[in-house]
A and B are shown apart, each in its own frame.
Chain A
Amino acid sequence: MAEQRYFEDVEPGDEFNEHWTPTRESVIGYLTVGNAEAGNTASRFTSDEEAKKIGMAKAIVPGAFSMVMASRVVADWMGPEGKLHSIDVDFRRPVLHDDTLNILALVTDTLEDDGVPTVKLDVYLENERGERPVQGTALVELPKRG
């Protein structure tokens, strides 16, 4: 289980990250959850050929999968008593199969509006081409010590 993060220990500028390389197998695994057929169907998410038909360099990773991974990084960081109130991302460029990604989150502000200890985060995926294909923000409530 992830370690608990406390509001007092967080300050703007803090950052954390996790590396991720989405393989074809992992994308199929994701697609198959709740829809066994999706992973077996040739689509822009599973086939380079299909992706090239719509102008992509190769098969792409579903946006929701990228968002899930970013959410997981935040959830692991905040710990079991943290509450992820929201995560909102923009998809600015495609994430391709086998991209070498760094999922980064940075604390941009800490607030106690209405007595609720809240942390604002920027969350983004960065690839080996210097691009940030997925960028967004998250709002997390953290417990206070004592």
Chain B
Amino acid sequence: MTLDANGYWYMDLHSHSTDASDDAGGTVEGYAKWIVARRKKGFHIDGFVLTEHRQFDPDADYTALSEQYGVTILRGAELETDIGHVLVYNLSPEFTRGFDLASVSLDHKEVFKRARETGGFAVAAHAGRPRIGLAEHVHGRGVTTDGIEAIEQLNGGSNDEENGRAQELAEQFGLHRVGGSDAHFVSAIGRCLTAFRRPITSLEDLVQELATGEYHPVTVEQTLDAATEGAR
């Protein structure tokens, strides 16, 4: 488990699988296999976080797959709030007991606050997307970004304009920025990533790094550039 030649560790922080998201066509093993195939072509993808829609199964365990393919596989959730979708990492029983995860209108302030209080971290997903992204709620409804530390600026399911809108929001309010593929199908995994400065092999690592703010979003093509530059 080492950083790439330029000192980065690349994680896809947003993905869905057939295990728990009914709109997904990709299996967890399929994602791991695809990452191995991408690595053979020079791309750097160290792992991914499964963020299934509106649920979290504390008993799901992907350790065997993770070891078999040499890919970090972590689990979070994508919840639905009054300011759009929110990715939550390291959901503790204390956190999940406090919310009906299946709800489509959770109080975002409570989600962000409780995530941090219970050892987790929350990120506003696909922030530039109409209706389900934070930007529209900030600019259209006057919602503040109080309590929000990071947004998903680069989302694989958003178009260029939407990702640009998220970038403007991050710059305007000084929010940290992550990247995630929002993969629902195998070949989309790792399309957008977050570049961290330290290896991440556990949810505790992930939360610790997200709290530092020392990361940025990248496309998978940018990891190839990094590899090429590093080899020179």
Contact = CB atoms under 8 A, between A and B. Distances in A.
Interface of A: 11-13, 88, 90, 92, 106, 108-109, 120, 122, 124, 129-132, 135-137
A13 B37 contact: yes
B41 A129 contact: no
Nearest to B34: A108
A109 B184 CA distance: 16
A49 B41 CA distance: 47
A90 B187 CA distance: 15
Contacts of B34: 12-13, 108
Contacts of A135: 25, 184-185, 188
Interface in B157-190: 157-161, 163, 184-188
A137 B159 contact: no
A132 B161 contact: no
The secondary structure that dominates the B interface is: helix
Interface string B29-53: 0100110011011000000000000
Given A90-B25, A135-B185, A12 B37 contact: yes
Contact of A122 (B38, B160, B185): B185
Interface residues of B, number: 21
B25 A106 contact: no
Contacts of A88: 25
A112 B30 CA distance: 15
B30 A131 contact: no
Contacts of B184: 90, 135
A136 to B, nearest CB: 6
B98 to A, nearest CB: 32
B57 interface: no
Contacts of A106: 186-187
A55 B30 CA distance: 36
A144 B201 CA distance: 40
A109 B23 contact: no
Given A12-B34, A13-B40, A129-B160, A90 B23 contact: yes
A10 to B, nearest CB: 12
A10 B184 CA distance: 23
A108 B159 CA distance: 24
A12 B33 contact: yes
